[in-house]
């Protein structure tokens, strides 16, 4: 129960890895704000956490909209008294367009970047004062190994998220707020399988040192570690959870 008495916001928590993050935090004692755009899925996850004996509230949230993220921060204060942890997981990924940067529809591109890149900034702005008032906290941003692979505008957004992680770690350190990121490799989720062809997935896995797809549990273990006091002297770090897909020196 590493997070008993703490409050965590998880964006994009209505399915996939975000849902697993929310439920993992709840299992270890945190009250969880399920910040999700899809009301049906958000209500479902919050309800399942409560049914399992945890505390959770669904808050409808569009991470690309400043007024929506501010309302999310206020709702967290009202429901649970404030915020200790933030997981910036929300992203356009499952079923996303895979197109050339030179040809992708410009409105789609701007919406994509507003969610996948700027959403982490807006959500952090919405909760960091509450974290500071409560003595500090921790933030985990959801990146991807695509950041190092020239993987189109998705990779660009994730690479930018690394810069955001480093900058926020520098800006928030004096407030005792740590900021790190997780870069998952290919992970067995509905979103991945709806986006990446099975043959391509198997080709990627065959070239990795640990020859299997990642699981949501692999990501949850890493996320909870980075949020916990066990990582109290770690900030500005990008943690690959990828079976050795990307090895950096």
Kindly report the number of other CB atoms within 10 A of residue 219's CB atom.
24
> What confidence tier does 13 reach under pLDDT thresholds 50, 70, 90?
very high
Predicted confidence at residue 196, as pLDDT, reads: 83
Predicted confidence at residue 207, as pLDDT, reads: 95
Residue 94 has pLDDT above 90, yes or no: no
Query: In order of start, what are the domains of the chain with their CATH numbers?
Result: 7-241 (3.40.50.720)
List the one residue out of 208, 194, 10 whose CA is nearest residue 98.
Answer: 194
Write out pLDDT tens, residues 25-61: 999 999 999 999 999 999 999 999 999 999 999 999 9
* C-alpha dihedral sign at 98, 17, 116, 156: negative
Tell me the C-alpha to C-alpha distance, in Å, between residue 134 and each of 7, 22, 82, 130: 10, 21, 8, 6
Active-site positions?
Answer: 154
Kindly report the number of other CB atoms within 10 A of residue 55's CB atom.
16
Strand order in the sheet with 55-60: 55-60, 31-36, 7-11, 85-88, 137-142, 177-184, 238-241
> What confidence tier does 95 reach under pLDDT thresholds 50, 70, 90?
confident
Write out pLDDT tens, residues 198-246: 998 999 999 999 999 999 999 999 999 999 999 999 999 999 999 999 9
State what percent of residues in the chain have pLDDT above 90. 92
Residue 7 has pLDDT above 90, yes or no: yes
Instruction: Please name every residue paired with 10 in a beta bridge, in sequence order, or none if there are none.
Output: 34, 87
Write out pLDDT tens, residues 149-182: 988 999 999 999 999 999 999 999 999 999 999 9
Query: Rounded to the nearest 10 degrees, what angle do helices 152-172 and 118-133 cross at?
Result: 20
Predicted confidence at residue 190, as pLDDT, reads: 86
Instruction: Please name every residue paired with 8 in a beta bridge, in sequence order, or none if there are none.
Output: 32, 85
Residue 239 contacts residue 180 (beta carbons within 8 Å): yes
């Amino acid at each position: 129960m590493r997070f008993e008495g703490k409050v965590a916001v998880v964006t994009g928590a209505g399915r996939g890895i975000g849902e697993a993050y929310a439920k993992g935090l709840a299992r270890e004692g945190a009250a969880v704000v399920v910040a999700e755009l899809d009301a049906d899925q958000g209500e479902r996850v919050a309800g399942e956490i409560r049914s399992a004996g945890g505390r959770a509230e669904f808050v409808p949230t569009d991470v690309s909209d400043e007024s929506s993220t501010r309302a999310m921060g206020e709702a967290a204060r009202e429901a649970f008294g404030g915020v200790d942890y933030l997981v910036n997981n929300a992203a356009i990924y499952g079923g996303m367009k895979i197109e050339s940067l030179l040809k992708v529809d410009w409105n789609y591109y701007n919406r994509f970047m507003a969610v996948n890149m700027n959403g982490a900034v807006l959500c952090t702005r919405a909760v960091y004062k509450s974290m500071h008032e409560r003595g500090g906290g921790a933030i985990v941003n959801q990146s991807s190994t695509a950041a190092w692979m020239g993987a189109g505008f998705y990779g660009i957004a994730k690479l930018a998220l690394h810069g955001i992680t480093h900058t926020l770690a520098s800006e928030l350190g004096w407030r005792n707020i740590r900021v790190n990121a997780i870069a998952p490799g290919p992970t067995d989720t509905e979103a991945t399988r709806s986006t990446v062809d099975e043959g391509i997935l198997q080709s990627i896995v065959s070239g990795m040192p640990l020859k299997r797809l990642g699981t949501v549990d692999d990501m949850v273990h890493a996320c909870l570690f980075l949020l916990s006091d066990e990582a109290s002297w770690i900030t500005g770090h990008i943690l690959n959870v990828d079976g050795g897909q990307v090895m950096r020196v």
